[in-house]
Structure 1
Amino acid sequence: MLNISPNKLNQKVDLGHYKSAQKVFHKRHYKHFNRFLLVFAAIGIIVLFLPWTQNIAGKGYLTTLKPDQRPQTIQSPIPGRIERWYVQEGDFVKKGDTILFISEVKNEYFDPNLLQRTGDQIAAKAMAVTSYKEKVDALNSQIEALLTERGLKLKQARNKLIQSRLKVQSDSIDLEAAKTNILIAQRQYDRVEQLEKEGLKAVTDLEAKRLKLQEAQAKLISQENKLLAAKNEVINSEVEINRTQAEYTDKISKAKSDMFTAQSNQFDTEAQVTKLENEYANYEMRSDLHYIRAPQSGFINKALQSGIGETFKEGDRLVAIMPTEYDMAVETYVEPLDLPLIHLGEKVRIQFDGWPAIVFSGWPNLSYGTYGGEVVAIETFISDNGKYRILLAPDKDDQPWPNEIRVGSGANTIALLEDVPIWFELWRQLNGFPPNYYQPENEMANSSTK
């Protein structure tokens, strides 16, 4: 009864005569029930003051600690056509083992003797380079011979010039002597002519002196001619020197021009040889790329291109491979609001999918089936899902992770934060407040040292 009427029925009617009332309204029943409520309330109050570990829960998956240990796909750097498979899915391959063989699809590489023909072109061009080198050497020898010959010719011409100049000096002296002789002959003739007029000399003596005077005059004229001829010889010698210099300069210039032309052809041919050698190396490496090999030891997960005769472009994925040696890690994500609470070296509890576990997030010591992890990397840029990526490595101070876990399987993570009373945690959860911001002891020590 609600007992809302002013007419109290329980005061007028005695319910103690009824058996059901006697069982319900027994005083000992109230006594035990009240004790139970008191004990429950006391326990509840005590529990509210028990320590509770604040945590950040996240969902992630298993990956590897190093990038080169993660599952990868093998691409072909060249386009081609699948000709033969050497493996099947699930096979184990070692590093360098051949996975499949491909053939060319571009017409410029169809020639099966491409390497041999390119090698023949290189040999022919190399011989041309040798020929040009020999021609350059021959022209150098010719230039040296012309330089030597020019030196000798110029020396000969200079000697002849010196001789001509000496002859000019000799003829000049002879001319002076002839002038002196004619003066003497003239004076003698004049004296004899005077004596002949006085009758002291005979006519024959006068005629002899006249003859002698004429001979001296003739000799003077002859000596003058010799002097002029000697001067002409000097001029001719100088002209010869200039002619010889010009002649051999022209010959040497022509030989040098031919040598430079040969050198230019040599360098051009050497450039062609280098280009052909580059093409040969490219062809050789390209032919080696026809065999797709395993970059590291692992298992063939899936053939992304199948069949025989199927074509593909460069960079297309052909097959997926999983390395055999890897260090396990967990990749998880946290909200931007919780990111300041995560630090390097932070301890994290991990529950792997498919692995039995009993988890008490606030009491990690009472949890069963969880494994320890440690924060080794924190992403500084937000991911596409609006969260920040955290990489966890196995905790060396905790039990090792199971060997049966595989890359790609899911994992639930619990980042352990500060210890607070349960009543505070309930109050925080009811109000939607974030966990308490705190600073780890090692970072506090580093900051105080700084």
Structure 2
Amino acid sequence: MLNISKDNNILITPGKYASITSVARRPHYKLLNRIIVGFLVFLVACLFLPWTQNIDGRGAVTTLKPDHRPQTVHNAIAGRIEKWFVQEGDYVNKGDTILFISEIKEDYFDPNLISNTKQQVDAKKMAYDSYGEKVGSLEVQAKSLLTERQLKLEQGRNKIKQALLKIKSDSMDLEAVKTQLRIANTQFDRSTALNKEGLKPLTDVEQKRLKLQEAQAYIITQENKLLSSKNELINARVEINRITAEYAEKISKSHSDKFTALSTQYDTGAQVNKLENQFVNYSVRNGLYYITAPQSGYVNRALLAGIGETIKEGTGIVSIMPAGYDIAVETYVDPIDLPLVHRGAKVRVWFDGWPRIVFSGWPGLSYGTFGGRVVAIENFISTNGKYRILVSPDKDEEKWPKQLSIGAGAESIALLDTVPIWYEIWRNLNGFPPNFYKPDGQDSNSKDKK
């Protein structure tokens, strides 16, 4: 500013001038000052008001349980559409017929397929039972052969004992004959000596010679009998071996036939199981021609049309909306906010088309919002780059509207810690995230777990 005044030390006193005094004494300036000061005091006081931190998200109305959501009914087998029993908008109970299809595969064209398969099953069962009876007969035969072999062996052992006793008897007879031979020989020598001395006649010598020859002949016969008895012993032992070998072969053949019958029986049993499996499959397939409703609900949309159309397995037939369901909201939050959300956290929800007035920091002053609680948090990121959270109605607050339909848009705010407004302004100016908040109940639960 230019210094053009000659006297730089001039003081201006406002009281000397009437215009300045008149302007300063006007009352509305004082009121304005008071208003400005009061407003500033009010703003400062507002900075200390409580503010509830929150996380916002957007999603849609869904159901709490997976089986309450709209589902598509599919056919289990391929076929041709023959008759429709429902139309769009109809209410169907569980088990009601929706569509009838006919067979298109040549393997199942036979109208008597189930009865014929049943006859095959019965025939194979009879064959299985017959092989079982054959196995029983062979077991009885094997037992009979064992008994017969035991008797034959006892008979052979008895023959061996008889042969041994006969050998013993013949040996004793042979020894007696040998004694007789020695006596006859001694008598003959004595008679010969006495005959030479003239004490015995010649006839007596001849008699003694005859007895000696008879004893010699008898001893040969007795030796033959002893050898014959020994041969009988050998034959008896050979017979024992023959009986053992013969019945071993017969019993082995019986066991072989038994195992063959068992193998055939097991194979027949496997065929019976296979045929029974086919019979059950044919019976179940016969019931799949009628496509029924898996649960009670409304037919939203028919995905097929017309009569005579050929459809493959797993083709969608109709879409059904269950009649009774537990409503919920699926909402999505940013990855940075995911650690701040926990199961059981309180959430305020409002719906598209429903009047509302929302104060995010003061949920108690909002209108048209409804209380909810987090029941599930998905830990895998969705295709939209956010994390999915499932919210159910809070039982302690007002019930959600019954007019809500599945798929309607919904917005939500998850309530966090309560802080002063000045702290929230300071946090947003610095770009800090909301406070990491956990309720006291969750902390106590974690302590209990530890």
Q: TM-score if structure 2 supplies the norm length?
A: 0.88
Structure 1: distance between partners of 2:154 and 2:35? 139
Structure 2: distance between partners of 1:247 and 1:312? 70
Which residue of structure 2 lines up, in the alignment, with residue 348 of structure 1?
347
Which residue of structure 1 lines up, in the alignment, with residue 417 of structure 2?
418
Which residue of structure 2 lines up, in the alignment, with residue 85 of structure 1?
84
Identify if the C-alpha distance between structure 1 residues 375 and 257 changes in structure 2 by more than 3 Å, giving closer, same or farther.
Answer: same
**Alpha-carbon shift at residue 336 of structure 1 (Å):** 1.0
Structure 2: distance between partners of 1:191 and 1:49? 166
Deviations, residues 177-211 of structure 1 (Å, cap 9, x unaligned): 11000110111011111111111111111111111
Q: For residue 116 of structure 1, what is the amino acid of its counterpart? A: S
Matched, 1:99 2:98: yes
Which residue of structure 2 lines up, in the alignment, with residue 326 of structure 1?
325
Q: For residue 261 of structure 1, what is the amino acid of its counterpart? A: T
The more displaced of 183-192 and 97-106 is 97-106
Which residue of structure 1 lines up, in the alignment, with residue 176 of structure 2?
177
Q: For residue 403 of structure 2, what is the amino acid of its counterpart? A: E
Structure 2: distance between partners of 1:448 and 1:277? 58
Unaligned runs of 5+ in 2: 5-25
Identify if the C-alpha distance between structure 1 residues 83 and 33 changes in structure 2 by more than 3 Å, giving closer, same or farther.
Answer: same
The more displaced of 309-318 and 235-244 is 309-318
Identity %: 63
Which residue of structure 1 lines up, in the alignment, with residue 187 of structure 2?
188
Q: For residue 336 of structure 2, give the secondary structure of its aligned residue in structure 1.
A: coil
Which residue of structure 2 lines up, in the alignment, with residue 383 of structure 1?
382
Structure 2: distance between partners of 1:170 and 1:295? 99
Structural mapping, 1:141-290, within 5 Å: 141-290=140-289
**Alpha-carbon shift at residue 134 of structure 1 (Å):** 2.1
Structure 2: distance between partners of 1:89 and 1:337? 44
Structure 1: distance between partners of 2:156 and 2:445? 95
Structure 1: distance between partners of 2:258 and 2:440? 81
Structural mapping, 1:432-443, within 5 Å: 432-443=431-442
Which residue of structure 2 lines up, in the alignment, with residue 125 of structure 1?
124
Identify if the C-alpha distance between structure 1 residues 247 and 401 changes in structure 2 by more than 3 Å, giving closer, same or farther.
Answer: same
**Alpha-carbon shift at residue 351 of structure 1 (Å):** 0.8
**Alpha-carbon shift at residue 222 of structure 1 (Å):** 0.9
Structure 1: distance between partners of 2:157 and 2:38? 139
Deviations, residues 332-369 of structure 1 (Å, cap 9, x unaligned): 11111111222222211111111111222222222111
Matched, 1:407 2:406: yes
Q: For residue 440 of structure 1, what is the amino acid of its counterpart? A: P
Identify if the C-alpha distance between structure 1 residues 244 and 444 changes in structure 2 by more than 3 Å, giving closer, same or farther.
Answer: closer
Which residue of structure 2 lines up, in the alignment, with residue 293 of structure 1?
292
**Alpha-carbon shift at residue 126 of structure 1 (Å):** 1.2
Q: For residue 54 of structure 1, give the secondary structure of its aligned residue in structure 2.
A: strand
Q: For residue 173 of structure 2, what is the amino acid of its counterpart? A: D
CA RMSD of aligned residues (A): 2.3
**Alpha-carbon shift at residue 240 of structure 1 (Å):** 1.4
Identify if the C-alpha distance between structure 1 residues 330 and 251 changes in structure 2 by more than 3 Å, giving closer, same or farther.
Answer: same
Structure 1: distance between partners of 2:444 and 2:413? 25
**Alpha-carbon shift at residue 378 of structure 1 (Å):** 1.6
Matched, 1:74 2:73: yes
**Alpha-carbon shift at residue 57 of structure 1 (Å):** 1.5
The more displaced of 168-177 and 94-103 is 94-103
Q: For residue 142 of structure 2, give the secondary structure of its aligned residue in structure 1.
A: helix
Q: For residue 309 of structure 2, what is the amino acid of its counterpart? A: E
Deviations, residues 398-428 of structure 1 (Å, cap 9, x unaligned): 1111111111111111222233333443444
Structure 1: distance between partners of 2:269 and 2:262? 10
Identify if the C-alpha distance between structure 1 residues 111 and 185 changes in structure 2 by more than 3 Å, giving closer, same or farther.
Answer: same
Structure 1: distance between partners of 2:377 and 2:164? 101
Q: For residue 242 of structure 1, give the secondary structure of its aligned residue in structure 2.
A: helix
Structure 2: distance between partners of 1:392 and 1:238? 97
Deviations, residues 42-76 of structure 1 (Å, cap 9, x unaligned): 54444444333222221111111112211111222
Deviations, residues 236-282 of structure 1 (Å, cap 9, x unaligned): 11111211222222222222222221111111111110111111112
**Alpha-carbon shift at residue 212 of structure 1 (Å):** 0.9
Structure 2: distance between partners of 1:257 and 1:371? 83
Which residue of structure 1 lines up, in the alignment, with residue 336 of structure 2?
337
Structure 2: distance between partners of 1:351 and 1:57? 11
Structure 1: distance between partners of 2:231 and 2:180? 26
Unaligned runs of 5+ in 1: 1-5, 7-26
**Alpha-carbon shift at residue 317 of structure 1 (Å):** 2.1
Which residue of structure 1 lines up, in the alignment, with residue 10 of structure 2?
none
Q: For residue 345 of structure 2, what is the amino acid of its counterpart? A: E
Which residue of structure 1 lines up, in the alignment, with residue 309 of structure 2?
310
Structure 1: distance between partners of 2:334 and 2:366? 24
Identify if the C-alpha distance between structure 1 residues 199 and 444 changes in structure 2 by more than 3 Å, giving closer, same or farther.
Answer: closer
Structure 2: distance between partners of 1:177 and 1:199? 32
